[in-house]
Every structure is written in structure tokens, then in C-alpha cells.
Structure 1
């Protein structure tokens, strides 16, 4: 059965192409090839052992960056299909969105940003761009993965424009300015940083919100950071829980959790589809370019769901991300990051040979960026192993 295609979908046959021209002609579209390249790259495999919230030794059933990424991709595909968008592009963007994350989750990112502050800072979105355009070295003809313009544009701008039409940074970059990696790349390959990204990119971004909110409920309950009863007063989650208990009064706790989480996800996905259709009907964008030129995002939650989502995030922030147990683990993680950064900065000979040769010829800022790239690419496990090897100290992750 032929699927509906929205007039504002990105069409692979109309892609703006790749920096390095490549022959097409196989059975895949340009966006499908992007997706496949992301799945097969080293950075994607490393997500298996990178923290989402819990460091790997905490248990096998908690989300990692990889399992979270797969769940985001599933949500993005579902929403894209319902809206008539290009599923391959939405999936590629979902699969790539966390490639630039450091070991130890947001705590690792904050620590590395602090350490790199004298050298331009660290930003996981910019790091994802570096990985996909420079640090992955698999192909004979180019560094990076040579992805299409639409994939790189969507990766960089999935949360909205980065600058005003006058060139002033906005949002998270307002105070500190754009990361150098984004400035350098966009100056050579214009990603139109003042406009919104495609509808597919916007869908991938909101799918990330849906996945981590719903599944952090699951992981938080599994870890005992809060209890089912705590969800009672939380909009959306409390309503989902009440529905489950009403329909299945004798259901065992594990199934109650799963039924609650899936209802939360379903409600969010349904709301995004309905709200995006409403906005599309109102704005009537006739092309992907028209979506980029809109004054606001096309994909999003309705007003009530947006508020419900805000309250849920606030609940998780208080009960989970700032939980004493999580804070203690993340403080140890920050110490590991500091120790590794300092030792590699002071003694480049401790870096692997392939990194060492580049570092020896570098000035301090370039050397710091190389150390940053090396540490950011580590998995939790590798970072802990290197810390043990270099310092012969147990970082007390127990």
C-alpha cells in the first residue's frame, strides 16, 4: 500500500547532497544510506556502554545511551509515518542525536565542558557534528560519514535555530556563543543556522523527550528512587497509573509499571501527531523549505501536554536526577573525568599512539581538543579501566 507523503516532507530525491559527491543507484534512498552509515559507525557502537542515568555496573536492565537511542528511533519512525514524513531521515536523526555524549551522562558532559572552558568548551551537539564530519575515519575518500545536508542540518538544529537572522546566538548559546566546531563547519557548508530544521528533525527531537521521560519513570521505579504512589499527583503519569489500577486491580507491580509507562508514551505520541497536524493545517507549509521558514516549530505538544511534560520533567529532576544516590555516583564520575583530562594534558605520551602523534605537533589549544575528543569518545567502562591503569585507584563505583 502506498503511504501518504506530506507536502512538507523532505524528499531524498531532492536532497541538497553530500560534501563529497558519491555515486547513487543502489536500492536505498540517500537518507536510508545516512541511517545505515550511522548504525555501522564506531561512535554508535560505543553508546552501548555509555550512561543514560545509571553507570553500567548498576544493572543490566537500565537504559544505556544505546537502548535509549533505539527507543527514540522507534518513536520517531512512528510519528514520521503518521505525519507522512520521511521515516529514514527521522530515524537517522534519532540514531545520531546522542553520538557526541561523554561517558557518565550529563555529569560527564558538564565536567568536560568545565575543563575545556579555557579552550572553547564542550557541547555534545557540536561533538556529534565533529564525529560525523571528521572523527569517524572509515572511508577511503573522506573523513567522517559524508552524510547528506539534511541529516547534518537536522542534527545541529533539531532544537530550533541557533542564531537570529542578524547572526546573534540564541537559546543555550546566547551567553557563550556558538561552539567553534559548528561555526567552522557551517562556514564551509552552510546549514542555515538561523532557520528551523526540517519536520523530520523536529520529530526526532520531540521523540527524544518522549522516550527519556517515559522510560526514566521505568528506570527510576526499578531502582527504587521513587515509588508508584509518588506518581499519583503527577499529571499524565498519575492519570495513566489510575487507569491501570482501575482496569487491573490485581496486577503485579512490574506489569503495573509497564502498563503505566506505555500509556504515558502513547498519550504523548498521540498528542504530538494531533498538534503537528493542527499546526500544519493552520500554516499550510507546501515544502520542507516552508517548514524551515516558519516563525515557530511545526512539531510539538499541545499546550496542555506541554505543561504536563514540564511537570513530569520537574518530578524526575527532583526525585531521580538529583537523588542522593545518583549525585554520589556522578561526583565520582566527575573526579574520573578530571583525573583523565589532567593526566593526558600533562603527558601526551599516555595517549594511544594514533592520538599521541597528533598531540606532539599541536599547540595547547589543539592538544586540549584532541584530549577532549579522546575522553568524550570513551565508554564508562573504558574510562574506568584507564583511570585504574593510570592511577591504580578504585574510583569507588560500588
Structure 2
């Protein structure tokens, strides 16, 4: 299995997969289409802004300066997800640049304050189709991150096609390739405004089905998210290993995991899986910040990542053999045991960080709501130039509200707070 720069990458990808929504002239440099996709996402302003957006703890918030600097942001999470996805995808025969592009892009539309900001913006956006970080990611990639324009008008006034990624790259970036009307558990990945590009990406694909590369990205996200958020919560002092030795405490965590991540599992099954996972020899007895405990913690994270990825690779290979697995030729198979273990790790962070910090989270939601109200009341003057143009060009109130939502979603945690202070002072 070898790479072929002429046809755009590894075997299993067609000219159709490498096509871009807006045609582009041939490039001189000898790079594959998917290498170009990866470079476009990596160099985007939207990706850079993730450096100041919440993963577990808000950048610049509540811990000591050294601790905060070591905690992950949406950017470092995306980079780590990309590393996990690239290796897992490569082992299964995917083009590694394609999978890495999808992993880098998967959170690119997330707003300030992470999922908490999503909740607030979704309420604000109810009159224009709601807000969902995954749908916003598609919007950023295909409209909001300016790089290319469709050849239907002057460069400054024609339709932006965003980064103009290949069809395969956009498809691989879509976790939830359906609209709000078709939402599953509240999750969706396409706004009605963006149906045109979504239809182009998904042309000929069975509704609701995700491509193999998107499945690899999704599992890589879960792996990186569950393991690294646990590590950060330990470093920040939100979790104590000793508490997890108590069966009653584990039961509470298992109940949180079941409620949020795996409603198809019963509590007894989760408790049993939790006890078995914690009995593995690579779990440290404690974390106290010393070099030895830091090394033990790193060993824990790398071992857990290997456990989750090898389980998926082995199960998928047992089902499909050694052939390259790409696009719609296979489904990623993750054993139930590892899915439950993954949910339990996410449940630990949810139980000890999210739930116990609800007062802070409530203030963040209030800030986003007030920021949206003040921005809309003062628009278009309260909008940056790109979003101001969209506001003024909108045909109706829903379009104008969407421009305001796009503006706020683009902000970092710190710039959202600064903009709120500025607008509040003006009023």
C-alpha cells in the first residue's frame, strides 16, 4: 500500500472524493489533495482561536498560572485528537492526511466556554435554526473562514466557500450529517442555511451514514477527550484517585456516565466494568505533582489510548481483513467493553468538574446570553467587518440573528468576556 501523489493519496479514493466545491486551477507543487486540505485547516485563523477556548478549564481561570498553562485547550485537544486519528486511520488503510484533517477540524466551530457556550447559544439561536458546534464547524469550513470564493461574482462580493476542502475531507469532518429536524439526542451537523454544500458533500450517500474516516475521527475524539480531560482534571486537583477506590463513589460516577454517555447500559454493568478497569496495574496510587507521579500519569494516559485504539483496530480487522478501509467500504468496530470504559472516563470528568462547577458554568451561560442581546441590539456597529457584511446582506431577521451568532461563536473565552465588558460599559 503506497502513496501516489498523482492521484491524491492512498488507494481507495477517487477523483470524486478529491473534488472541491468551487473548482480551482491546478497547483504546481507536488502535494496530494488531502495534504493541501490538512495545510488549509492547520493555517486557519479559526483553528488558532481554539488556543483560547475551553476544553476542561477555561484558559486563564481558577488554578495557578503554571497549572493553567499546562491544561489543554480546544486547540491542544484537536492536535492530540489528530495524532490519535492519524495513527489509527493509517493502521486501517485510510489516507492519514485526510483523517488528520478531519480531526483538526472537528471542533473548529466550537464557541467560547465549550459545550456550556453551545447550550447558551442554542437558546439564543432558536429563531434561526439553533446552534450546534458540529454544524458550526461545517459552516466555518465552507463559509466563514475566508480563503476561496465561488466564481459567481466579484472576489469581494461572491459567495465564500471557506477553505474549499475536498469532498472527502468535508465528509470526514461531519460527525452528524443531518439537520436539526433529524437530530439524534439533540446532535446535528447541518444548518438549513448550509444544505447546499451538505448536499454536494453527501450526494449519493445513504442518509445518516457516516464515512469510515469520520468514524475514525469520532472515536479518536472520544479517546483523546476522555483520557486527556481525566489527566487535566487530576493535574488541576479536581479528582483524587483515592475517592475512586470507594465503591459508593464509583457508583455515583457510573450513574453520571450512564445518564450522559451510555443510556443503553445498566448501572450494574457499568460498575463492574469500572472496577475491572481500575484494577489494571497501570493506575497510579496517587497524583501529587512530583516527577515520579507525573511520569506515572503519562504512562496511564498512553496506556489507555493504546487500549482503546488497539481494541478498535483489532475488532475492525477481524471483521474486514487486511485490505485498506476507506470511505464507505467498512464500519469502524469498537468493542462494547471499550465503549463503556470510555464513557466511564468521561463520566469521571463530568461528575467532578462539570457538575461541581455549575455556578461558574451558569455565569458563563448568562454572559453569552447577555453578549448576544447587546450585540444584536447594537448591530451592525457591534459586529466585526465580515459579520457586519453578512448582517447587512441578510434577507430577514433569522439571517441577521445568524450573523450575530456567527460573530459570538468565533470569539475566544477571553475575548467574549472583554467584548461583554465593552458593550456593557457603552450601555
Q: TM-score band (shorter)?
A: 0.7 to 0.9
The yes-or-no answer on 1:213 pairing with 2:226 is yes
The yes-or-no answer on 1:356 pairing with 2:372 is no
8 Å Cα contact 2:42-2:104 kept in structure 1: yes
Distance in 1 (CA, whole Å) between partners of 2:38 and 2:358 is: 35
Secondary structure class of the residue paired with 1:203: helix
8 Å Cα contact 1:115-1:121 kept in structure 2: yes
How far 1:243 sits from its partner (Å)?
5.6
Distance in 1 (CA, whole Å) between partners of 2:367 and 2:210 is: 36
What runs of 5+ residues in structure 2 fail to find an aligned partner? 4-9, 62-67, 151-159, 251-273
Which residue of structure 2 lines up, in the alignment, with residue 383 of structure 1? 416
Distance in 2 (CA, whole Å) between partners of 1:115 and 1:307 is: 34
8 Å Cα contact 1:129-1:181 kept in structure 2: no
Which residue of structure 2 lines up, in the alignment, with residue 370 of structure 1? 403
8 Å Cα contact 1:13-1:29 kept in structure 2: no
After the TM superposition, which residues 1-398 of structure 1 pair with which residues of structure 2 at under 5 Å, given as runs?
10-11=12-13, 15-22=17-24, 23-24=26-27, 26-58=29-61, 59-139=68-148, 142-156=160-174, 158=175, 162=178, 169=182, 171-172=184-185, 179-187=191-199, 189-191=201-203, 192=205, 194=207, 196-232=209-245, 234-235=274-275, 238-240=278-280, 242=282, 252-281=292-321, 288-291=327-330, 298-323=331-356, 326-348=357-379, 349-362=381-394, 363-392=396-425
8 Å Cα contact 1:97-1:128 kept in structure 2: yes
The count of aligned residue pairs is 372
Distance in 2 (CA, whole Å) between partners of 1:228 and 1:208 is: 24
Over aligned residues, Cα RMSD in angstroms?
A: 3.1
Distance in 1 (CA, whole Å) between partners of 2:221 and 2:74 is: 11
Distance in 1 (CA, whole Å) between partners of 2:393 and 2:325 is: 52
How far 1:300 sits from its partner (Å)?
3.4
How far 1:231 sits from its partner (Å)?
4.1
8 Å Cα contact 1:116-1:368 kept in structure 2: yes
How far 1:385 sits from its partner (Å)?
1.1
Deviation digits for residues 50-80 of structure 1 (CA, Å, limit 9, x no counterpart):
1112111131111100000000000001111
How far 1:287 sits from its partner (Å)?
6.2
Between 1:258-267 and 1:201-210, the stretch displaced more is 258-267
Secondary structure class of the residue paired with 1:273: helix
8 Å Cα contact 1:231-1:237 kept in structure 2: no
How far 1:150 sits from its partner (Å)?
0.7
What runs of 5+ residues in structure 1 fail to find an aligned partner? 292-297, 394-398
Deviation digits for residues 124-169 of structure 1 (CA, Å, limit 9, x no counterpart):
111111111111112365531111111111222x35x638xxx982
Where in structure 1 do 4 or more consecutive aligned residues deviate above 6 Å? Answer: 284-287
8 Å Cα contact 1:80-1:87 kept in structure 2: yes
Between 1:230-239 and 1:107-116, the stretch displaced more is 230-239
How far 1:264 sits from its partner (Å)?
1.3
Change (3 A) 1:251 1:374: closer
Deviation digits for residues 25-58 of structure 1 (CA, Å, limit 9, x no counterpart):
5321111111110111111111111111211113
Between 1:12-21 and 1:368-377, the stretch displaced more is 12-21
